[in-house]
Chains A and B, each alone.
Chain A
């Protein structure tokens, strides 16, 4: 209310025409355009050759036995998860915190945080998809043998691509959330290794977890990613070579002047029973987490999508507090 010159209180006068300003959808498009421009100007494109380099190194080391033996599959799948988590983390760990001041200024000027995060999510989805494509191409170049059929889509490559995408994207949105939480890039880069170690240690597959700690792995992107990758690769139907290799190492042990293990190995090889033994030993190493059914794989995908949604919501909530930043 305003005091008018004659002393009476008069109703507030709206001298301004009421305009409407750009809503969330239009703002998302504005920021999306900005992010794609930045992809070129700000060297974000370097994430793509980096993804190729990392995928190349990993497939060179662990690619040969991927989807051939259980051990090779577990190691290879774990390495693939590592690639995805690494790529995802590095894609977005600094994207928000490095321009926090700019966001605060734009928020003051009418920016919707949901639009800002939505633009980032769309942009990061494209980046993750490109990285997954590169990783799969590298796997093909490295002559990794893939199973003939997929479990969910009938195409193994498509199943693999969806899984790798969801792992990368979930890790990406997790680090986006962290980037929204922290105030500067130094803090973000300090937090990131802890997140990475947590994801890798608690994946539940490569490092054995027992007791209540196993429940912790349910909250990791890596566990559901690893389960999905092993499931689509028929992990439980593959042979386990560790037992045979161990026996082979002890083949020259002598008992009363004879070498019974060597004799047994020769005998089994002559009877073409090695593959059967490897497969039989694999049967004793099966895991319910890696059961090759479409239901299991879609369950893993569901968990990864759930993480993405939760991390995105939390990212928005954290960034909504940007006005509280101290100068």
Chain B
């Protein structure tokens, strides 16, 4: 039996990689046996080093290459001069190039994770297994950057932190917006990741509500869950009707203005709104009613002048108003805006929020996200503060009026409130867990629950872990 040098090298490399990755995974708190599974080991490595997408691709390519080599061993597809063999060889070669690129990208993450010189990438190019063995078993190497910055934060979120959280105490009311997001998770390859956990509140009709929170706290995820567009494990009632169960009908009662200007720039303002009306208004509306509604919205938003001009020629503020107009066409009961003032100067932003105040005063619920809240906070009735807990899962840190919020956090401004719940690495005070627990206790006390904020294994456990 003739054993090729290539095969010997492959087996040694596989063994080295498995042994090295086993130790590295253990150091990082992962299951060691993942190191033995082709594909999975790169996925985990990428995940740990904040290179999850590269790791996933490297893993997929490793599995495909592995299957091809098995297939070749069985049927000899790469042997001979047939065109099929040449085709497979070319395909395999292309995969090999892609595999090298993605593995090097994973390596960049691992090098950062271990805080070692990028020169190590040269050795990785020839033998990733050897690198992992050295880093895994060498006394001087530790995964120092694991999950300690924004990029590595992706590894977290696999479970909410064990701290007290708000529980649903109240039943859905017949009017207003009742939100009970028990959890919002996403499936990432083989793992479930938590984005939101336990967010319960009721917003009365006619409220203008500010949604506050640092980057990644789950603001956009929450509004997508509320609108039913990205469904969560949640119960959402809008004026007594279950939004999720009646989504097809109630989606027309919810207006959602996205953060980006998602408009066809090469269409006119009037046609943009006219098409939106055609698409969103009930077919029972005749041409005149539809036209009147479009004119009314244009008048309300100050878009009458230049209505025949192209959207691309409009200013940032006008584009925002067109975007809002598209949603206002249906006269929604719930109106949500994701950073409507981004890119607008103070005066224009103020004017925009004053229009939102007017909409809310007509009995609608308006929820807005903004990163510059203090210039318009006097217009808002309520604030919702979201914060990432220790495991970077979005939780409710406060819901109430702006004055109550200032007193609750002991801060004079909305921006300082956000700073207080932001993590220290983000320039914040890192007090998110404290306020999540405090708010949960406050709600529990208000609801007369004596055990509020004391879920099994909560604050005490966390303090133990901290020690």
Contact = CB atoms under 8 A, between A and B. Distances in A.
Interface string B251-284: 1110010101011101110010001101111111
Contacts of A212: 83-84
Given A2-B171, A20-B282, A34 B242 contact: no
Highest count of chain B CB atoms <10 Å: which of A42, A109, A210, A211: A109
Contacts of A106: 279
A46 interface: no
Contact of A111 (B229, B239, B271, B279): B279
A102 B83 contact: no
B136 interface: no
A213 B83 contact: yes
B158 to A, nearest CB: 18
A110 interface: yes
Contacts of A105: 256, 258, 262
A26 B283 CA distance: 10
Interface string B84-107: 100100000000000000000000
Given A15-B240, A101-B260, A108 B251 contact: yes
A19 B310 contact: no
A37 interface: yes
Nearest to A13: B240
Interface string B308-345: 00100000000000000010000000000000000000
Given A41-B267, A323-B229, A15 B280 contact: no
A12 B242 contact: yes
Given A12-B240, A101-B258, A110 B283 contact: no
Contact of B278 (A19, A30, A41, A101): A30
Contacts, number: 98
A27 interface: yes
Given A19-B283, A22-B283, A110-B252, A211 B267 contact: no
Nearest to B280: A109
B172 interface: yes
A34 B241 contact: no
A34 B272 CA distance: 9
Contact of B262 (A12, A18, A38, A102): A102
Interface residues of B, number: 42
B26 interface: no
Interface string B216-229: 00001000000101
A41 B251 contact: no
B174 A109 contact: no
B267 A19 contact: no
A323 B230 contact: yes
Interface residues of A, number: 39
B233 to A, nearest CB: 17
A279 to B, nearest CB: 34
A313 to B, nearest CB: 24
A272 interface: no
B84 A108 contact: no
B237 interface: yes
A6 interface: no
B117 interface: no
B249 interface: yes
Contacts of A108: 227, 229, 251, 256
Contact of B84 (A27, A34, A213): A213
Interface string B384-414: 0000000000000000000000000000000
Interface in A26-61: 26-27, 30, 33-34, 37-38, 41-42
A327 B220 contact: yes
A109 B264 contact: no
B82 interface: yes
Contacts of A110: 251-252, 279-280
Query: Which 5 A-B residue pairs are closest in the complex by CB-CB distance?
Result: A19-B282, A3-B171, A42-B266, A41-B266, A101-B262
26 contacts: A2-B240, A4-B174, A12-B240, A13-B241, A15-B239, A16-B250, A19-B283, A19-B284, A20-B282, A20-B284, A21-B252, A21-B280, A22-B279, A22-B283, A26-B283, A30-B279, A37-B267, A38-B264, A102-B263, A102-B264, A108-B227, A109-B276, A110-B251, A110-B279, A111-B279, A323-B230
Interface of B: 82-84, 87, 171-172, 174, 220, 227, 229-230, 237, 239-242, 249-253, 256, 258, 260, 262-264, 266-268, 271, 275-276, 278-284, 310, 326
